[in-house]
Amino acid sequence: MLLLDIGEVAERSGVPASALRYYEEIGLIRSEARRGLRRQYDPDVLLKLSLIGLGKTAGFSLDEIAAMFGADGQPNIPREQLRAQADELQRQMIGLRTLRDALRHVADCRAPTHLECPTFRALLRTASRRPLAYTPSRPDKEKKLLSKRR
């Protein structure tokens, strides 16, 4: 079978059909055809969805994800910008590492309250060194396309 219908995609990807329709509505994925009313998806959509999943766990908005990989596959963002995105991810990974270390430390440290523990404070200080601009949990979009910097 060449095309999948939405139920199958939902099951295999773990993404609910309602979300799939929504993604399509906003142009993040597309269905190749209809059989009657029913959307038919190219199996490749499964790959795309895992990519989307990755992007989401990385904290990107759907818009940003769409921008990374060209809404419909093509627009092809300037390579320069893609590299910048990758670098941003890199930075994010460093943040995660700090957080992970902080967590591990808290798990092991016997200090009664962690903000009193010098090791912990040291960790946090390195965290705040790189100011890591305030991000209001994504209600706002960048005014222009993906203007990453700051």
Partner DNA sequence: CTACGAATTCAAGCCGACTTGAGGTCAAGC
Partner DNA sequence: GCTTGACCTCAAGTCGGCTTGAATTCGTAG
56 binds a second copy (CB under 8 A): yes
The answer to whether 119 and 109 are in contact (CB under 8 A) is yes
Residue 34: partners with Cβ closer than 8 Å, 6 or more residues away: 40
| Alpha-carbon separation of residue 111 from 42, 115, 118, 121 (angstroms) | 55, 9, 9, 12
Of 1, 2, 37, 115, which lies in the binding site for a second copy, with binding defined by CB under 8 A?
A: 115
| Rg from Cα positions in the chain | 20
Positions in 69-98 near a second copy (CB under 8 A): 69, 73-74, 79-80, 82-83, 85-86, 89-90, 92-93, 95-98
Span from 1-9, 13-21, 31-39, 140-148 in contact with a second copy (CB under 8 A): 13-21
Long-range Cβ contacts of 119-125 (<8 Å, 24+ apart): 123/98
- What span, in angstroms and rounded, lies between the C-alpha atoms of 136 and 16? 27
**Positions that interact with DNA (CB under 7 A):** 5-8, 10, 16-19, 21-23, 31, 35-39, 56, 61-63, 136-141
**Positions that interact with a second copy (CB under 8 A):** 13-16, 19, 44, 46-48, 50-51, 53-59, 62, 68-69, 73-74, 79-80, 82-83, 85-86, 89-90, 92-93, 95-100, 102-104, 106-108, 113-115, 121, 124-125, 127-128, 131-137
